[in-house]
């Protein structure tokens, strides 16, 4: 779970609303005096020590938080499973025989185990929302350009976003307030929507849990009927997302991967091998699909919040077959890529469960509705209770 641990590892820079709060930093961010390891020992050995901490971390330190430690990530953050061939798999305290979810696995587990109050992570394709859903945490992927991403090792810059994991919405809100420009934040959208194609594509247990929750929300006072919307061809959007993400990941890390054969785990190595074969024409065509999808999603999220499950399933078992994990990964990414395509904020709130196993309710909102999503989810939590 931890790569480096301190008490504290880095002190606060100010007295503020996060005084007494501790941070688990995903091993992609610059932390002054330490090198970034990206979940790979060989990569860590080659990196220089950071002269200063990343702005996203300094925002938390400036609000009074301290760094508890640097927490593990999946290799180059190119996974949502949470397993690491070099360092092992962090625990999932809510479902002990299950995977924690990645790639912000270390920060998520540290928060779930009460070893830190805030997990500072990233979300390219769901790496905040997936571990939040699997471990019953609050997790927010920020509007892509709401937080300075310098000092952060990228995976796919077109989609990378800063995110946070906490046990309570109050701490999450305080972390977000410390990190964004409040004057750019917009008010709470007036309406809620559900994409029919997303619901029909879920497995039976998750579909029933989600539909029952929407029905309960509609039966309470103060919630207008949830609108049905058409997000378009979900399979085509996911394939285009996957293509552009892979092309960018290869542009960022391909030289290092080529120079270090045999270092990466089999699943990550296979992902990079596929990425290396993405042609320029395929990337351009995929970017065209994403541009059209972004325009469509902008219209849907005009004063609406899209509701969907945070993940296509609850946390998979640790002993799941690789083929089963790959299917689970693809089904979940088809949900999580919607926010990434548009650079939208997306919140996973721990409001659902399937037979006692946590499942996040995801709220995707217009850009710069980060704080509004938290406030909306608190209201939904009260109604579902």
Q: Domains of the chain: which residue ranges?
A: 1-385
Q: Is the pLDDT of residue 221 over 90?
A: no
Q: How many other CB atoms are found less than 10 A from the CB of residue 204?
A: 7
Paired residues of 98 in beta bridges: 317
State phi, psi for 166 to the nearest 5 degrees. Answer: -145, 170
Q: What percent of the chain has pLDDT over 70?
A: 100
Q: What is the pTM of this model?
A: 0.96
Give the separation between CA 204 and CA 210, rounded to whole angstroms: 10
Burial 170-192 (b: 16+ CB within 10 A, else e): ebbbbbbbbbbeeeebeeebeeb
The beta-strand segments (E) located in 62-188 are 66-71, 118-122, 138-141, 162-166
Range from 45-54, 132-141, 201-210, 258-267 carrying the lowest mean pLDDT: 201-210
State phi, psi for 348 to the nearest 5 degrees. Answer: -100, 115
Residue 128 has a pLDDT of 98
Give the separation between CA 130 and CA 348, rounded to whole angstroms: 8
Q: Is the pLDDT of residue 219 over 90?
A: no
341: left (phi over 0), alpha (psi -120 to 50) or beta: alpha
Residue 224 has a pLDDT of 78
Q: What is residue 146's DSSP assignment?
A: S
Residue 139, SS3 per DSSP: strand
Its sign, for the CA torsion 163, 168, 169, 171, is negative
Fold of 1-385: Amidase signature (AS) enzymes (3.90.1300)
How much is the average pLDDT of 57-72?
A: 98
Residue 348, SS3 per DSSP: strand
Q: What is the pLDDT of residues 281-318, one digit of tens each?
A: 999 999 999 999 999 999 999 989 999 999 999 999 99
Q: What is the pLDDT of residues 182-192, one digit of tens each?
A: 899 999 888 99
Give the separation between CA 314 and CA 171, rounded to whole angstroms: 24
Among candidate residues 63, 47, 44, the one with its CA nearest the CA of residue 55: 63
Which residues does 295 contact at the CB level (< 8 Å), separation at least 6? none
Q: What is residue 48's DSSP assignment?
A: P
Q: What is the pLDDT of residues 67-121, one digit of tens each?
A: 999 999 999 999 999 999 999 999 999 999 999 999 999 999 999 999 999 999 9
Q: How many other CB atoms are found less than 10 A from the CB of residue 154?
A: 19
Give the separation between CA 305 and CA 199, rounded to whole angstroms: 15
How much is the average pLDDT of 257-276?
A: 97
Q: Is the pLDDT of residue 222 over 70?
A: no
Range from 17-26, 50-59, 61-70, 218-227 carrying the lowest mean pLDDT: 218-227
Query: What tokens were used for 19?
Result: 């005084």
> Which strands sit side by side in the sheet containing 346-354, from one edge to the other?
2-10, 66-71, 22-26, 118-122, 162-166, 138-141, 346-354, 357-364, 304-309, 191-195, 227-229
DSSP secondary structure string for all residues of 160-228: --EEEEESSHHHHHHHHHHHS-GGG-----SEEEEEHHHHHTS-HHHHHHHHHHHHHHHTSTT-PPPEE
Task: Report how far Cα 216 is from the mean position of its chain's Cα atoms.
Answer: 27
């Amino acid at each position: 779970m931890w790569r480096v641990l301190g008490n504290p590892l880095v002190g606060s820079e100010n007295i503020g609303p996060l005084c007494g709060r501790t941070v688990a930093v995903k091993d992609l961010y610059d932390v002054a005096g330490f090198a970034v390891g990206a979940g790979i020992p060989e990569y860590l050995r080659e990196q220089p020590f950071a002269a200063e901490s990343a702005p996203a971390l300094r925002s938390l330190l400036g609000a009074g938080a301290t760094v508890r430690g640097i927490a593990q990530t999946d290799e180059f953050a190119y996974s949502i499973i949470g397993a690491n061939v070099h360092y092992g798999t962090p625990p999932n305290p809510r479902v002990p025989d299950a995977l924690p979810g990645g790639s912000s696995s270390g920060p998520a587990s540290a928060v779930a185990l009460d070893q830190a109050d805030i997990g500072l992570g990233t979300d390219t394709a769901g790496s905040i929302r997936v571990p939040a859903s699997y471990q019953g945490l609050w997790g927010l992927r920020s509007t892509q350009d709401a937080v300075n991403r310098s000092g952060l090792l990228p995976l796919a810059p077109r989609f990378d976003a800063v995110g946070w994991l906490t046990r309570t919405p109050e701490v999450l809100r305080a972390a977000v307030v410390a990190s964004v420009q409040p004057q750019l934040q917009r008010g709470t959208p007036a309406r809620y929507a559900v994409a029919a194609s997303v619901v029909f594509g879920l497995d039976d247990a998750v579909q029933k849990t989600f539909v029952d929750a929407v029905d309960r929300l509609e039966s309470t006072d103060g919630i207008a009927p949830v609108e049905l919307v058409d997000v378009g061809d979900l399979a085509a959007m996911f394939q285009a997302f996957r293509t552009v993400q892979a092309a960018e990941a290869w542009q960022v890390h391909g030289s290092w991967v080529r120079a270090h054969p045999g270092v990466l785990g089999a699943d990550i190595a296979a992902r990079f091998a596929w990425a290396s074969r993405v042609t320029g024409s395929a990337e351009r065509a995929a970017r065209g699909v994403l541009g059209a999808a972004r325009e469509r999603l902008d219209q849907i999220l005009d004063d609406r919040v899209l509701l969907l499950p945070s993940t296509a399933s609850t946390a998979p078992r640790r002993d799941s077959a690789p083929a089963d994990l790959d299917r689970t990964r693809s089904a979940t990414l088809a949900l999580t890529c919607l926010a990434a395509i548009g650079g939208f904020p997306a919140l996973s709130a721990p409001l659902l469960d399937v037979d006692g196993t946590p499942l996040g309710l995801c709220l995707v909102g217009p850009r710069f509705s980060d704080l509004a999503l938290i406030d909306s989810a608190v209201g939904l939590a009260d109604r579902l209770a």
